[in-house]
């Protein structure tokens, strides 16, 4: 996939339940989660339905040229702070898809009135995510324990430096970032 992909984020729905379960059980995805245990289908179904009904969550499937490739999620931990996380479930994706997840997370938060800060925890061995947070100029925060690093991003800061940060990306990635779409256009945000 060399040409710029069409990137869309759509809210979780039952059609994606099995795909998300398969992704969550991939060893490379599980090793970055808080719990690295294999997830049973029954436990996943309970978690998935709970996520769909939780008013403090927004969970999205990342589509690349209409193909599901990853997930992006937000949880309002306390007003006005949201915790976010993401992963690519597929490996045969456009180079730079991880960058698009970062841009999508920050841009989505920017559009939400009740989100002033994004918060993320990253396992210390997750070099890819750590490099992306550095590239996007996240601020470090107090980590929960020695296994994680914690990061924050203020909504106002992203608004002020978005163009400068994106200018550091290669041109095809800048173009792809500019074309990210969320459907519905103004999805419900965590309350």
Query: 31-49 burial, b if ≥16 CB within 10 A, otherwise e?
Result: eeeeeeeebeeeebeeebe
- 26, 89 in Cβ contact below 8 A? yes
Read off the tokens for 183. Answer: 């459907």
In a domain, 189, yes or no: no
Domain count within the chain: 1
Structural domain harbouring 55: 7-180
In a domain, 107, yes or no: yes
Residue 191 has pLDDT above 50, yes or no: no
pLDDT the model gives residue 188: 53
Residue 78 pLDDT grade (very low, low, confident, very high; cuts 50, 70, 90): confident
In a domain, 121, yes or no: yes
In a domain, 30, yes or no: yes
Q: What is the 3-state secondary structure (H, E, C) of the chain?
A: CCCCCCEEEEECCHHHHHHHHHHHCCHHHHCCCCCCCCCCHHHHHHHHHHHHHCCCEEEEEEEECCEEEEEEEEEEEECCEEEEEEEECCCCCCCCHHHHHHHHHHHHHHCCCCCCEEEEEEECCCHHHHHHHHHCCCEEECCCCCCEEEEEEEHHHHHHHHHHHHCCCCHHHHHHHHCCEEECCCCCCCC
Q: How far is CA 116 from the centre of its chain?
A: 17
- CATH code for position 147: 3.40.630.30
Entry pTM:
0.92
In a domain, 58, yes or no: yes
In a domain, 2, yes or no: no
Residue 185 pLDDT grade (very low, low, confident, very high; cuts 50, 70, 90): low
In a domain, 133, yes or no: yes
User: Per residue in 122-165, pLDDT tens?
Assistant: 999 999 999 999 999 999 999 999 999 999 999 999 999 999 99
In a domain, 186, yes or no: no
The residue assigned the tokens 């920050």 is: 106
């Amino acid at each position: 996939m060399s040409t710029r992909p069409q990137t869309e984020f759509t809210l979780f729905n039952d059609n994606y339940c099995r795909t998300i379960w398969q992704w969550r059980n991939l060893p490379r995805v599980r090793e970055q989660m808080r719990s690295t245990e294999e997830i049973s289908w029954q436990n996943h179904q309970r978690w998935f339905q709970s996520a769909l009904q939780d008013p403090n969550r927004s969970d999205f499937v990342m589509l690349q040229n209409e193909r599901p490739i990853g997930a992006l999620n937000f949880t309002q931990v306390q007003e006005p702070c949201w915790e976010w996380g993401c992963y690519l479930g597929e490996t045969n994706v456009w180079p730079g898809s991880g960058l698009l997840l970062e841009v999508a997370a920050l841009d989505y938060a920017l559009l939400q009135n009740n989100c002033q800060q994004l918060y993320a925890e990253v396992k210390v061995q997750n070099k890819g995510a750590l490099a992306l947070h550095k590239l996007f100029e996240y601020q470090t925060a107090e980590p929960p324990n020695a296994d994680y690093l914690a990061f924050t991003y203020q909504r106002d800061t992203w608004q002020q430096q978005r163009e400068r940060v994106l200018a550091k990306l290669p041109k095809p990635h800048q173009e792809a970032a500019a074309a990210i779409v969320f459907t519905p256009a103004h999805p419900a945000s965590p309350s």
